[in-house]
Homo-oligomer: A and B are copies of this chain.
Amino acid sequence: MAKIRLGMVGGGKDAFIGAVHRIAARIDGDYDLVAGALSSTPARARESGAALGLDPARSYGSYEEMAEKEAARPDGIRAVSIVTPNHMHAGPAIEFLKRGIHVICDKPLTATMEDALALEAAAKASKALFILTHNYTGYPMIRQARDMVASGELGKIRVVQVEYAQDWLTEEAGADNKQADWRTDPARSGAGGAIGDIGTHAHNLACFVTGLAVESLAADLQSFVPGRRVDDNANILLRMQGGARGVLWCSQVAPGCENALRLRVFGEKGGLEWAQEDPNYLWFTPFGQAKRLLTRRGAGANAAANAVSRTPGGHPEGYLEGFANIYAGAARAIRAADAGETPDTALLPGISAGIDGMRFITAAIRSSQENAAWVAL
């Protein structure tokens, strides 16, 4: 099968998430990275392109130039990965969507709701696909969990506990910490700090697995580190569709937590528990029976999990493979779309998941400003 010609916006040297996207795109061999506007600084863009072995002619100084020139080439890119800081998502995404080039964009959708709506309009107007890398939905055991809920194995969902805790912003980060620098800058990251960066992942994951939307929330946001301009901890009550109730906690000031995204779902008939740092395991308790440790590709794994697994049980897959599952799903959808077929996007987070995430951020901030009053999403 021919590889999909891929471009990238952002992701130059020292960027974290760009390198992740590139590995994710390579793992299953579906893409060829052939073009890039890897930095907003042209010299740095060129240098980064050279390091990646890009044809210098396709290592662009700006995304606008890249969009124009690639769209004009007969062998131009068919898809582009956007891995810039949040405030720089909407611009390039719209530009490529306009030209019918599929967009794979990092989350959260944008830095502002205004940008988000503009991007939504562009996505709806385009024949090209828009995929948002809520990568944690790509984990096999998360697919299994979603499938188990959907098929009624847990009964009606009552309680959802989701949390995403880190500790890397426990202290004020120096200016040389590039990641901390932009992620705590409202102009680049958006009004949400922890809730935008990781809270949206938690929100998305809870909805993805349960199939239930958050209807309203009551949020208590904090900014513990002196001088920090965005939230670094958030405690949020959730009211979800169908009467389910929950809590979302996210934090970047929780010493001992590296990347502790964790989801627990309890229904009338059973409970599930999953932790991102040990992603090959899913705990399942049918009420009244012994707890079971379901393992990826193990005896208890279901078809939804096996469909996105590469290695046998006990040969752990990790973050990059989960991320790659988004890219692999995107590749299937892109090929179908380009072949004139209807792409299967049921499991692919897209523009509506992105808008939901922006509504979550906006509602959380407003609720917190109103002393944790309930705000509908």
- CA of A269 to CA of B256 in the docked complex: distance in angstroms? 10
> Would A159 and B26 count as touching, CB distance under 8 A?
no
In the complex the two chains form, is A251's CB within 8 Å of B233's CB?
A: no
- For the complex, is A83 an interface residue (Cβ under 8 Å from B)? no
Chain B residues, CB < 8 A from A19: 310
Q: Mark A302-337, 1 if CB is under 8 A from B, else 0.
A: 000000001111111111110000000000000000
Contact between B220 and A237, CB atoms less than 8 A apart: yes
B273 near A314 with CB under 8 A, answer no
Q: Does A44 make an interface contact (CB < 8 A)?
A: no
CB of A339 within 8 A of chain B? no
Which residue of the partner chain B has the closest CB to A301? B290
Q: Pick the contact of A271 from B255, B289, B311 — CB < 8 Å? A: B255
Query: Nearest chain B CB to A278's CB is how many angstroms away?
Result: 7
The answer to whether B316 and A319 have CB atoms under 8 Å apart is yes
Tell me the nearest residue of chain B to A267, going by C-beta: B255
- Residue from A3, A295, A299 with most neighbouring chain B CB atoms (10 Å): A299
A173 touches B (CB below 8 Å)? no
Closest to A219 in B: B237
Give the residues in chain B near A40, CB-CB below 8 Å: none
Contact B170 A287 (CB under 8 A): yes
B245 and A247: CB pair below 8 A? no
Minimum Cβ distance to chain B for residue A284 (Å): 8
Q: Which residue of B lies closest to A171 (CB)?
A: B287
Does A288 lie at the interface of the complex (its beta carbon under 8 Å from any beta carbon of B)? yes
Q: Does A4 contact B (CB under 8 A)?
A: no
Inter-chain CA distance A371–B321, complex, in Å, is 43
**Also in contact, A255 and B249, with CB within 8 A (given A292-B291, A293-B291, A371-B374):** no
B23 touches A372 (CB 8 A): no
Q: How many residues of A contact B (CB 8 A)?
A: 88
Whether the Cβ atoms of A158 and B299 lie closer than 8 Å is: no
Protomer copies:
4
A349–B287 Cα distance when bound, in Å, is 35
When the two chains form their complex, are residues A255 and B286 in contact, meaning their CB atoms are under 8 A apart? Answer: yes
Interface-side segment among A7-15, A55-63, A258-266: A258-266
Interface residues of A in 233-248 (CB under 8 A from B): 233, 235, 237-239, 245-247
Option from B29, B167, B293, B313 in Cβ contact (under 8 Å) with A287: B167
Residues of B within 8 A of A260 (CB): 314
Q: Which of A28-84 contact B (CB under 8 A)?
A: 28-29, 53
User: Which residues of the partner chain B approach A354 to less than 8 Å between Cβ atoms?
Assistant: none
A300–B289 CB distance below 8 A: yes
Q: Could you say which residues of chain B place their CB within 8 Å of the CB of A126? A: none
Which of A266, A280, A288 has most B Cβ within 10 Å?
A: A266
A193 contacts the other chain (Cβ, under 8 Å)?
no
Option from B287, B321, B371, B374 in Cβ contact (under 8 Å) with A320: B321
Within the complex, what minimum Cβ distance (angstroms) separates A127 from chain B? 26
Cβ B313 vs Cβ A320 within 8 A:
no
Contacts A171-B287, A258-B298 aside, 6 further interface pairs with beta carbons under 8 A come to A159-B233, A159-B251, A161-B163, A316-B318, A317-B318, A317-B320
**12 contacting pairs across A/B (C-beta < 8 A):** A1-B53, A23-B27, A26-B26, A237-B237, A247-B247, A255-B266, A256-B291, A258-B312, A291-B293, A291-B298, A293-B293, A317-B318
